[in-house]
Homo-oligomer: A and B are copies of this chain.
Amino acid sequence: MEDGTFESPGNCRYTEAGFDVKNWDTREDCEVRQILDRIADKWSLLVIALLDQCSMRFTELRREIDGISQRMLARTLRHLERDGLVKRTVHPVVPPRVDYELTPLGADLHSTIKALVTWTEEHRAQIAAARTAYDARTSADENAPAAATR
């Protein structure tokens, strides 16, 4: 009976505080995945952060972000606009002028995200230490494969 096959406990509950874990990140169905993909894509968060300070035009954002392609900036802004996070205002002047600003929803999301940013700032040292330790452990295992893993 010491073979590790204990039969799965199955007695742990996945519901907590009223929502089901399996239900808020099951890829296609829920919006959590959608929003997460949105804010985690390469540029959205940075755009939101910049627009939270003040409204900006397309080229201002482009110049400010440094490294983004116009294709990606346009795409990102369209996504954010579609989700109601950013408001786009077109001024009908000779050289087109378009201003982007955060909607209240976008500003609200940004303030929520900042908690995560703050967390990361506060724990960056722990994460870096964990990585260093892991890498050291890993390369050590290569040299001493016979040692017990623990």
Residues of A within 8 A of B (CB): 2-5, 8-9, 12-14, 16, 19, 21-22, 24-27, 31-32, 34-37, 39-40, 42, 45-46, 49-50, 53-54, 60, 63-64, 67, 81-85, 89-97, 105, 108-109, 112-113, 115-117, 119-121, 123-124, 126-131, 133-135, 148-150
Known interface pairs A53-B14, A93-B4; A124-B31 also in contact (CB < 8 Å): yes
A16 to chain B, nearest CB (A): 7
Known interface pairs A49-B21, A49-B25; A32-B120 also in contact (CB < 8 Å): yes
User: Which residues of chain B are within 8 angstroms of A124 by Cβ–Cβ distance?
Assistant: 31
Cα A148 to Cα B39 in complex, Å, equals 31
User: Which residues of chain B are within 8 angstroms of A50 by Cβ–Cβ distance?
Assistant: 14, 21
